[in-house]
Structure formats: structure tokens, C-alpha cells
Amino acid sequence: MGLGMQIAYLGFSGSNVIEREAGVELVRLAGVATDIVDCRLTIKVYPDHSGQPVYDAQLVLLTRDSEQVTVQCNTHADPTVATQHAFDDAVRVLHERRARSPY
């Protein structure tokens, strides 16, 4: 069984480009996510101080033991870049988590 992912868009309708990029990033994440069974990506848009849209991407990873691993929000003017940064942080968090594991 593969790693599943749900994507929620808040404040905009999303796009195939974002979903395609998230899928590519999920494949990369699956290489280091040995105990992760589900991935929830939330991307929300809001105006910055000048009124231009910015996007927050956040991941919540669920483990086999029902533990939630939340990855910090990543903000960027491009939702695809925010998504890439969120997955970069998830890979880092999982490597750190594995290094701390007693198993």
C-alpha cells in the first residue's frame, strides 16, 4: 500500500500544476517516510501587506502509530514553491526524527 495524500485549498481553487508538483514531492517523501501512512497538504492564500496574494503550505503527516507530525508553514508568492518548501522541510523533519529513534 502506498503513501496517500489529501490536498485542501483554502481561498482559491488550486490547479493541476500544484497537484502534479505535490505528487512528485510525495514520491520523494515516500523514500524517507517509512512509517508515514498519510499526508495532508493544506495550501491557503491571503493578501500580503501590499495586497498581493501569498500562499502558505503546511503538511501534516500521519504515522502507523496514529502520531501526527506537523511540518511548519511555508510561505511564498507561488503556491508551487511554497509546496516544494513544505516537502523539503518534511524530509528534513523525517530525517531528524529517524536519527532520534531508538530503533
Per-residue model confidence as pLDDT tens for the chain (103 residues): 467 899 999 999 989 999 999 999 998 888 888 888 899 999 999 999 999 999 999 999 998 888 899 998 889 999 999 999 999 999 998 888 877 766 5
This model's pTM is above 0.75 = yes
Give the per-residue pLDDT at 102.
62
CB 90 within 8 Å of CB 102: no
Query: CATH number of the domain at 4-100, please?
Result: 3.30.160.100
CB 2 within 8 Å of CB 44: no
At 77, is the secondary structure helix, strand, or coil?
coil
CB 56 within 8 Å of CB 26: no
Give the per-residue pLDDT at 58.
96
Give the per-residue pLDDT at 73.
85
Domain assignments of the chain as residue spans, ordered by start: 4-100
> Alpha carbon of 63 to those of 26, 32, 67, 70, 97: distances in Å?
15, 13, 5, 11, 12
Give the per-residue pLDDT at 96.
85
Q: Which three cell numbers stand for residue 37?
A: 501512512
- CA separation for the pair 101, 103 (Å, rounded): 5
Who contacts 103 (Cβ-Cβ below 8 Å, separation ≥6)? Answer: none
